Chain A
Amino acid sequence: MEDMVHRYFSLWISFFNNSLTRDLEFKANFIGGLLVDIIYYGIQFFFFSIIYSYVDAIGVFTREDVMIFLVITFLADTFYMFFFSGNLFNLNRWMVRGDLDYFLLKPMNSQFMVSFRYVKSYALVSVVILLIMLTTLVSAYSAPIGFINVIAFVFSFLMGTILWYGVDFIISSSCFWFKNFSVSGWLSHEILKFSTRPDSIYTGLLRKMLLSMIPMILIASIPTRTLLYGPDVRYLLWQFFIAIFFFLLTRIIWKKGLIRYESASS
């Protein structure tokens, strides 16, 4: 087990090195990627500033809370982008063009290969900036935030990332059945938007769905609540259970998908 972890970690490092070498080749792309992130974050901050100029709180989230929630949302998004988005977004194209063939021929876990092969290295800069912003906001927060909160937040954040990976992977893998499902990346992108609003705005059946079938609330809202208001064991256990469930589902879907894989003609 230890050997396997070491092997896959070392493989990921090689993927990262190659991705960074490639990304640094194209300076404009590298800087452009950072700019796109900054513009996106700016628009979100602006959007919530407008809302909070009319109301004092959205559910339990005050203006101060929402600023931290937003940074956590961006962090989750950027963290995900860094590891996975360069891969799953392209799965359909790889399948249609037959590029997937070479991935499947390598003596390693093919799901790992298609999930981690391309690292969006420029996102690492955004991750660092967002971590600095989060630390600053948390230090200046009106109530003290304890060490337990931080540890539980890290756990909750990781579970949220696994969950988002699971949802995105399942949507992307549907191309095995639909042959060409090029909108999968955009569909995932739109679904993710549910996670960029504080969970207090969702009620009734929609809330239930966003906590289970499409668990977008668990990606950023629950980590934010955990960090600001302390760990809620029920939420954390639920998050853990759903994350494991979705991850196992990705394994099953990937294996079933490979049986259906038809490759592309030469």
Chain B
Amino acid sequence: MPIQVNELSKQFKMFKREAGLSGAFRSFFKRKYETFHALKEISVQIEDGEILGILGENGAGKTTLIKLLVGLLHPTSGEVNINGFTPWNRKSNFLKQISVVMGQKNQLWWDIPASESFLLNQKIYEIPQSQYKNTLDELVDLLSVRDKLNVQVRRLSLGERMKMEIIASLLHNPKIVLLDEPTIGLDVISQLKIREFVKYYNEKYKTTFLLTSHYMHDIQALCKRVFVIHKGASLYDGDFEELVNRVNPKRKLLFEFNDKPDYNKIEKLSEKYNFHINNTILQSELPDKELTKLVSELFKLGVPASITMEDLPVEDTMRSFFTDPEKFLK
């Protein structure tokens, strides 16, 4: 069990000020503080080689959890054990086993080529030359950025920069990688490339990944299991598909008849099922079981030219989930 989190809580003391200039003056002389509970008794266990998605709306506590797991923050209470280490003790041997990629921050030197930052990381992580060369060769080829190695970071596109950030974070072959919004702001192709890369890397090296992303396609493509945080508290820990089904169990059906069906029979069916029909094309969004029943009824009405059944867009499903997560998980 590489990561064990027990009842982890983090509180911040926040300065509270009244609005307006008079409020600013009053608070200059007399400050009011309030305690913000960023995380409330979070417990989670993560297995070796797992890719865990951490979900939650903005300000839910995802990044705070990641920062506690890598030892950037000290908790108010609770414990974290990562391969026998307590992260906030920041032991070198622990820091050599982990890595973090933050989509909105850079570890690379801005004005010089990424290759120079890689060499610096080689020194910092004490990576033997042959291992460094092999790892770098593999990563630049996988992410197709060999021709960009000697270009100043500031001249790279956002996608290329993110790929370089990922390379910098994997040069030392960490056992645990925390990806905080790694695809934020990237175009669809770059998002896909990074997803494919993470999947490949995880399968090949059995590296544990913790991923936060607002792009549900990232989560869907990479994470079997998700951990949902809502207002700092743990809300769901389990299968992602199961969560999606729980939020929206419906699937979409497109049934195209060869010839126009009998409209009397169709009208009868519409009393039992919810669908739209336009000439020969019938569309419906229903839970799986009902949809199967509807399809068998439709077969009785005529031969289909084509049938398509698909899941509803996961982004839409999860958007509605985050409007009121507690409602769906009661």
Question: A-side interface residues toward B, CB under 8 Å?
Answer: 7, 10-11, 14-15, 17-18, 21-22, 25-26, 98-99, 101-102, 104-108, 110, 258-259, 261-263, 265-266
Question: B-side interface residues toward A, CB under 8 Å?
Answer: 12, 59, 63, 67, 70-74, 90, 92-93, 95-96, 98-100, 102-107, 109, 111-112, 116-117, 119-120, 123-126, 152, 180-181
Contacts A14-B119, A22-B112, A25-B152; is A107 near B92 (CB within 8 Å)? yes
CB distance from B278 to the nearest CB of A (A): 45
Partner of A101, one of B72, B90, B111, B112: B72
Contacts A11-B124, A22-B109; is A106 near B117 (CB within 8 Å)? no
B111 near A22 with CB under 8 A, answer yes
A104 near B120 with CB under 8 A, answer no
Chain A neighbourhood of B74, CB < 8 A: 258-259, 261
Partner of A14, one of B59, B100, B103, B120: B120
Chain B neighbourhood of A25, CB < 8 A: 111-112, 152
Partner of B95, one of A21, A98, A106: A106
User: How far does the alpha carbon of A21 sit from the alpha carbon of B119 in the complex, in Å?
Assistant: 13
The residue on B at minimum CB distance from A103 is B107
Chain A neighbourhood of B109, CB < 8 A: 18, 22
Q: Apart from A102-B100, A263-B67, A263-B73, what are 19 other A-B pairs with CB-CB below 8 Å?
A: A7-B126, A11-B124, A14-B120, A101-B100, A102-B102, A104-B90, A105-B70, A105-B98, A106-B95, A107-B93, A107-B95, A107-B96, A261-B74, A263-B72, A266-B63, A266-B102, A266-B103, A266-B104, A266-B105
Partner of A21, one of B12, B116, B124, B125: B116
User: How far does the alpha carbon of A258 sit from the alpha carbon of B72 in the complex, in Å?
Assistant: 8
B105 near A98 with CB under 8 A, answer yes
CB distance from A56 to the nearest CB of B (A): 51
Partner of B92, one of A21, A26, A102, A108: A108
